[in-house]
Amino acid sequence: GNSVTQMEGPVTLSEEAFLTINCTYTATGYPSLFWYVQYPGEGLQLLLKATKADDKGSNKGFEATYRKETTSFHLEKGSVQVSDSAVYFCALTTRRANQGGKLIFGQGTELSVKP
């Protein structure tokens, strides 16, 4: 079946450090891949997405590249800020014609950035 595996947290970094959160997936067909972020006390927000192999999603300084050969979608940011402290979820959806597909999430990775 389809599944997503993320690196375990919590991840603690100093401000301006480089961030990588690993995400690998198992899926049939050609999934779309997503990173969602959940700030304390808030709902899930879409951070970025990629819909086909070699696509790079980017937003707010975060990037992730859809790697079909390694079935990965690692999240990176060159310089994190305290305000990036949140829980990050990697997710996939398999396409259905004319229908949104359900999202399958990883377990989430908590990021804590210290000043």
Cβ atoms of 109 and 23 within 8 Å: the answer is no
Matching residue, tokens 């399958």: 104
- 42 near other proteins, judged by CB under 8 A: yes
- 49 near other proteins, judged by CB under 8 A: yes
- 57 near other proteins, judged by CB under 8 A: no
Cα dihedral 53, 96, 93, 25 in deg (nearest 10): -60
Binders of other proteins in range 6-35 (CB under 8 A)? 32, 34
- 40 near other proteins, judged by CB under 8 A: no
- 43 near other proteins, judged by CB under 8 A: yes
Q: Which is nearer to other proteins, 26 or 45 (CB)?
A: 45
Instruction: Give the residues lining the site for other proteins (CB under 8 A).
Output: 4, 32, 34, 36, 42-46, 49, 51, 89, 91, 93, 95, 98-108
